[in-house]
Chains A and B, each alone.
Chain A
Amino acid sequence: MNWNTAVYIVMNPLFALVLSPLVLGLIKTVKARIQGRPGPPVLQQYYQLRKLFHKEIVYSEDSSFIVRLGPYLGIAFMLTASLFVPMVFIPQTGWFGNIILFFYLMITAKFFMVLGGLDAGSTFGGMGSSREMTVSSIIEPVTIMSCAALAFVLKTTSIPEMFRTLLAGSIFSYPTLILVGISLFIILIVESARVPVDNPETHLELTMIHEAMILEQSGPKLALVELASGVRQTVLMALLINVTFPWGLAGLAGCASLLLAAVTMAVKMLILAATVGLFESLLAKIRFFRLPDFFMIALFLSFITIVFELLR
C-alpha cells in the first residue's frame, strides 16, 4: 500500500464523518426558512452530537447484545462503505470500489439497525424495523438497476474508475447520466429517510420508519447511529454529485489540490443539501403503500438509460 492510498483511506471516511452533520443542519435550516421559521443554527447537529456523547446509556431489560453491538457495526460498515466513493481525490484503485459491494455494505449496516429495533421488544421498534426492511427491499432492484446503468454507460463496475472516466470526458460525453442522476436522487431520498418517503422530524407512528427503529438507542449509542445515517446520506450525495458533475475532484493527492478539491466538494455538497431541503418542502409525504410507484420512476429511468446505451 503506497502513501497515496493510505492518505485516501484515512481522509475519505473522515471527510464524510465531519461534513455529514453540517449537511443535515443545512437541510434543516433550508426547510425552516421555507416554512417561515428561523430554524436551529446550522451547526446545531454538532452540538447535539456533543450533548449525546455526554449522556448516559439506557438499555431495556429485555434487550440483548444485539442492541449493544448494533451501533458499532452500523458505523463501522458505513465508514467502510464510505471508502468506496472518492470525495476529494481519486486514489489508485485497489480492493475497494466495487459498486455492488458498496451498496451491500450499506445494507449490512441497515440489517443490524433493524435487528436493534426488534431487540427491546417495543412495538415502535418492530414497526420501524418492518417498514425499514420493506422500503429497502423494494428500493434494492432500483439501486442495482442504477448500478447496472452506470456500469453500462461507463463500462466498469468500480466507482473510482467511473469517476476517472467521467473526469476525462466533457460535460456532453454521457448525456444519459442525467437520467441515472435522477434515479440516484430518488435513491438518496429513500436511503436517507426523507420526505416523501419518511419524515425525519416526527415521532408519530403513522409516518415514522427510521426514527421508530432507533427509538431504543440512547446517549453515545444514539450519537453513533445518527452519525452512521449522516454518513450514509453524505456518501450517497457524493456519489450523485460525482456522477453528474465530477469536475473539481482531484485526480491525485497533493496538498494544494487536495484543499481546493475538499472545498469544492463541500460547496457542491451544500448546494445539493439545499436542493434536498427545497425538494422536501415542496412535497407531502406519500402514503406508505404508494411508495413502490414512486420508486418505479427511478427504476424506469435506469432501465431507459440501459436501453439507450444498448441501442447506441
Chain B
Amino acid sequence: MDFPEFSSGIEDKEAVVQSLFWVGGALCLVATILPLVLLFRPSRLLRQAALWVLLAGTGAISAAAILVISRSLDLHLTLLSITPQLALSFRLDKLSCFFVVIIGAVSFCAVIYSITYIAHYKSERSKQFLTSGLAFFILAMLLVVASSTTFGFLFFWELMSLSSFFLVMFDLDKPETQKAGIFYFAMTQMGTIFLLASFLLLYRFTGSFDISAAGNIPQWGKGLVFVSLFIGFGTKAGIIPFHKWLPYAHSASPSNVSALMSGVMLKVPIYGLVRFIIDVFRPDLWWGIVLLFFGSITALLGIIYAFKEHDLKKMLAYCSIENLGVIVVGLGLYVIFDFYGLRVQADLCIYGALFHTLNHALFKSSLFMTAGSVVQATGTRDIEQMGGLIKRMPGTGAIFLVGACAIAALPPLNGFASEIMIFQAYLTSFSLGRPILEILLMAGLAALALTSTLAAACFAKAFGIIFLARPRSGAASAAKEAPFAQLLAPGILAALCVGFGVFSYQLISNVKSGMPLPDILPIGIIVLVLTGVTFLLLLLTRSPVRKTETWGCGIPSQTGKMEYSGDGFSEPIVTVFKPVFRTRKLSTREFYDKYNSIPKSSSGEIGTLKFFEERLYVPIARFFMKIAGAVSNLHNVDMDALILYSFIAVVLVILGVGWWL
C-alpha cells in the first residue's frame, strides 16, 4: 500500500508474463496442429510455417520465464479445473522458470536446426509428422516443469513420454529402432508407475495434489516417497542402473530429437528431484548419501562406457548419463552439507548442480546437432568410418570442438565453470568433522576427478577420430558442409558455452554473492593475450613453411586405413578398466568323429558383456514372464476348478467385508 507505483509495476509485469506464457503455449499448440491440417495433401509451406510459429512460441515462453527470474515473480495460473482438487494449474517461480528457460532456449535452437534438417527426409508425410511431434514434445516439456499440481505434472509427464516415444519410433522400419522403442516405452512407463505411486502416497498423507503442500508427512512415509521418486525420476534421467534405454533411444531417433531429448528432456526429472527433494521436503542425511552414491557410479560408469563406444550418437548418449550423474552428485552433496549446516558448501553444490544442468543442456544439444550434421553428411554413425571432416566441414568441426572442450571440463569454458563448484565444495569440506562420511566424500571426489579427465580423453578421441587426419571411408571423403541453419543453431549454443564459461564468476555472483570461486574472465583474457603474443613473436622468426606428407617409416603412400583408429585410441583405457567392461569370449568346435580329432567347424565370438542388460534386466523380465506363465496356467483349467475359484473369491470377499465393517 505504501508503494502504489511499485506494486502496480509488479502487476503489469505479471500480466505481461501471463499473456506471454499463454500466447507461447497457444503458438506451440498451433504448430502441433498446423502440419496435420492437410494430412493427405502434405504441404511444404504449412510445415515451414509451423516451424516458424514454434520458434515464436518457444521464444515467447522463454521471454516470460526470463522476466519471472529477473523480477523474482511468483505466479499461479490455472488452465483447467475438473474439480478444485484435480486441476491443470501452473506455478511460475524462479526454480520452474529456470528450467523453462533451459527448455525454451534449447528448443528454440533445435527448431532453427530443424528447418533444414527435416528437409532431408524423403517422404513428405514423415516430415509433417516429425514437425508436429516436435512441437507437441516441446510444449509437453514446458508444461511439465510449469505444473503446480502432481496431477498436472503426471499428466504432462505422460504426454512428454508418449510424444518422445513416437519421435523415437520415427524410423520404425529399422529393427534397431523397434528395439529402442520397446526399451524406451517399457522403462519410461516403469518410471511413471513409480512416480504415480509416490504421488498417490503423497495424496494419502496430505489430501492434496498440490506439489508445495507435500511438505508435512511422517518420517517413514517421507523415506518411502523419496525412494519411489528417485526410481521414477532416475529412470527418466538415465541414472545407472536405470539407464539402458537412453543410448538406444538417443541413437535411433532423428538428431534434432536426440538433441532435445538429451539436452532438455533429461533435465525435466532433475527439475522434479530439485523441486521435491530440496524445495518441498526437508531431506534426511541418507537421501544425500543415496544420491551421492548413485550419482558417482553413474558418472564414472557412464563415461567409461562412452569411451568404448564407436557409434557417435551412442557415445554422446552415454556422456549424457555421465553428466546427469555429476548433477545428481551435486544434489547429493547439497543434501549432506545442508544437513550439517555447511551453508557455503551447500550453496556451491546446489548452484553448481543447477548451473551444470544449464551447461549440459547447452553443450550437449550443440554436440548432438553437429553430430547430426556429420551423420547426415557421411551417412553413418560409426566414427571409424569418418576422419578428415574438419577440412570438408570446417564450421561443424569448429563448433564440435567448442562443445567437446566444454564437455571435457576444460577452462575457460562452461563445463569447467560448473564442475569446479562441486570440486570446490568437496575440497572445502574439511569443516564437516565426520571422519567416516568424509572418507566417503573423498572416494566420491576421486571418482569425480577420474570422470572429468576420462571425459577429456573421450572427446579428444571423438574429435580426433571424426574430424582429424585422413578420411577413413569414401563417404567421409565426399562429405559436404551442413547448411547455414544447421551451423547457426549449434553455433549459438557454442557461443553461449564460451560466454557462460568466461563470465561464470560474474553470473554466479549476481545470483549469490560470496561464493569462493575463481574468476575465469582474467584467465580467458591472459590466455588470449599470450596466444596472440607468441603468434606475433613466432612471425618474427620468419621461418619458411613447407608442406609434405606425413612420415610413415618409408611407406610410399599412406591411406586412411593405416591411421590410428578409435578402438586403438581407447584400447589402453579399456585394458585398464577391464573389470568394468567384462569381455566375454565364446568358442564352439564341432568334430566329424567321436574322438574329437577331425575338426568340422568352429566358431569364436568375442564381445562386451552388456552387464546391466544381461544380468539385471533380462532376469527381471524372465521373472515376470514366469509369473505371467503361472497365472496363465490358472486360466487353462476345467469347469470344476473355475467353480472352486469363484467359491474362494466369494469367501474372501465376505471375509473382507466382514473385517471392514
Give chain A's interface residues, CB within 8 Å of chain B.
53-66, 72-73, 75-77, 79-80, 83, 95-101, 104-105, 107-108, 111, 114-115, 118-123, 125-127, 129-131, 133-134, 136-138, 140-141, 143-145, 147-148, 151-152, 155, 157, 215-216, 219-221, 224, 288-289, 292, 299, 303, 306-307, 309-311
Contact = CB atoms under 8 A, between A and B. Distances in A.
Contact of A115 (B447, B468, B548): B468
Interface stretch (B157-165, B354-362, B568-576): B568-576
B454 A115 contact: no
B400 to A, nearest CB: 12
B464 A145 contact: no
5 contacts: A80-B527, A118-B460, A119-B464, A130-B572, A134-B576
B341 interface: no
Nearest to A104: B411
Interface stretch (B203-211, B215-223, B402-410): B402-410
A307 B538 contact: no
Given A105-B523, A119-B468, A289-B575, A111 B543 contact: no
A255 to B, nearest CB: 26
Contacts of A114: 460, 464
B445 A129 contact: no
Interface stretch (B140-148, B371-379, B425-433): B425-433
A134 B457 contact: yes
A130 B411 contact: no
A55 B530 CA distance: 22
A75 B435 CA distance: 41
Q: Which of A66, A133, A288, A310 has the most C-beta atoms of chain B within 10 angstroms of its own C-beta? A: A133
A227 to B, nearest CB: 9
Interface in B542-560: 543-552, 558, 560
Contacts of B435: 307, 310-311
A155 B430 contact: yes
A207 to B, nearest CB: 14
Interface residues of B toward A: which range? 35 or more
Contact of A101 (B426, B518, B538, B564): B518
Contact of A80 (B452, B470, B523, B535): B523
Top 6 nearest A-B pairs by Cβ distance?
A126-B564, A121-B469, A118-B464, A144-B449, A76-B530, A140-B453
Interface of B: 387-388, 390-391, 405, 408-411, 416, 420, 423-424, 426-428, 430, 435, 438-439, 442, 445-450, 452-454, 456-457, 460-461, 463-465, 467-470, 516-523, 526-528, 530-531, 534-535, 538, 541, 543-552, 558, 560, 562-564, 568-573, 575-576
Contacts of A140: 449-450, 452-453
B453 A108 contact: no
Contacts of A64: 390-391, 467-468
B391 to A, nearest CB: 6
A219 B543 contact: yes
A72 B531 contact: yes
Contacts of B420: 98, 100-101, 104
Nearest to A56: B544
Contacts of A152: 430
Q: Which of A61, A62, A100, A129 has the most C-beta atoms of chain B within 10 angstroms of its own C-beta? A: A62
Contacts of A54: 541, 543
Nearest to A100: B423
A137 B519 contact: no
Contacts of B527: 73, 76-77, 80
B469 A137 contact: no
Nearest to B389: A64
Contacts of A118: 460, 464-465, 468-469, 564, 569
Q: Which of B468, B516, B528 has the most C-beta atoms of chain A within 10 angstroms of its own C-beta? A: B468
Contacts of A75: 530, 534
A40 B568 CA distance: 37
A125 to B, nearest CB: 7
Given A76-B534, A145-B442, A292 B576 contact: yes
B449 A130 contact: no
A137 B428 contact: no
Q: Which of B391, B520, B527 has the most C-beta atoms of chain A within 10 angstroms of its own C-beta? A: B527
Given A121-B470, A122-B550, A148 B427 contact: yes
A123 B563 contact: yes
Contacts of A215: 551
A137 B454 contact: yes
Contacts of B571: 130
A135 to B, nearest CB: 9
Contacts of B442: 145, 148, 303, 306
Contacts of A155: 430
B541 A66 contact: no
B569 A111 contact: no
B568 A126 contact: yes
Contact of A148 (B445, B518, B550, B563): B445
Nearest to A145: B446
A61 B430 contact: no
Nearest to B570: A130
B34 to A, nearest CB: 43
Contacts of A104: 409-411, 416, 420
Nearest to A151: B427
B534 A72 contact: yes
Contacts of A126: 464, 469, 563-564, 568-569
Nearest to A215: B551
A104 B518 CA distance: 12
Contacts of B547: 58-61
B564 A123 contact: yes
Q: Which of A55, A58, A100, A292 has the most C-beta atoms of chain B within 10 angstroms of its own C-beta? A: A100
A58 B426 contact: no
A126 B572 CA distance: 12
A58 B548 contact: yes
B518 to A, nearest CB: 4
A183 B452 CA distance: 20
A36 to B, nearest CB: 33
Contacts of B563: 121-123, 126
Contacts of B410: 104, 107-108, 111
B572 A61 contact: no
Given A73-B531, A95-B522, A147-B427, A115 B568 contact: no
B470 A62 contact: yes
A108 B453 CA distance: 10
B534 A108 contact: no
Given A104-B411, A105-B411, A108-B411, A157 B548 contact: no
Contacts of A62: 388, 469-470, 549-550
A220 B410 CA distance: 26
A73 B524 CA distance: 12
A298 to B, nearest CB: 12
A59 B391 contact: no
Contacts of A80: 523, 526-527, 530
A125 B564 contact: yes
Contacts of B535: 72
